[in-house]
Amino acid sequence: MDTEPHNIIPTDPAIDQPAPVLEDFDNQGGAEPHHGGEGLEAVHDVPVKVQAVLGRARMPIGELLHLGAGTVVELDRRVGEPVDIFVNDRLIARGEVVLIDNALGVTLTEIVRAEH
């Protein structure tokens, strides 16, 4: 049995397949490449869930079932501590609760950098 490479790999040009043509998606339409926050217009209208978390509490289900109007639930935070700001369940910032025209708001005091 002859196993030389010339007997395994076809050399007939009619058998060879042409190389696929690949598009360059990095710079479509001759536009200049975007840097930083530029070029994000396509996602400006995408909704995200934003939460300001004042604190958390853990309790047994039996205690949870006995909660009623007027019950005070003690949280794991103290008065004056910053609240956590989450976007799509990811911590992105901390801030202070403020009152704006009889509505609650949060002034951002710290941006949390993503951990790698």
Q: Beta strands of 65-113 (E only): which ranges?
A: 83-87, 90-100, 103-111
Token pair of 104 as six digits: 């609650």
d(CA 73, CA 55): 10
User: 26-62 pLDDT, tens per residue?
Assistant: 555 555 554 556 678 888 899 999 999 999 999 999 9
Query: 3-state DSSP call for residue 51?
Result: strand
Please, what is the average pLDDT of the chain? 79
* pLDDT over threshold 70, residue 103: yes
Instruction: Kindly give, in sequence order, each residue whose CB lies less than 8 Å from that of residue 16, ignoring residues fewer than 6 positions away.
Output: 10
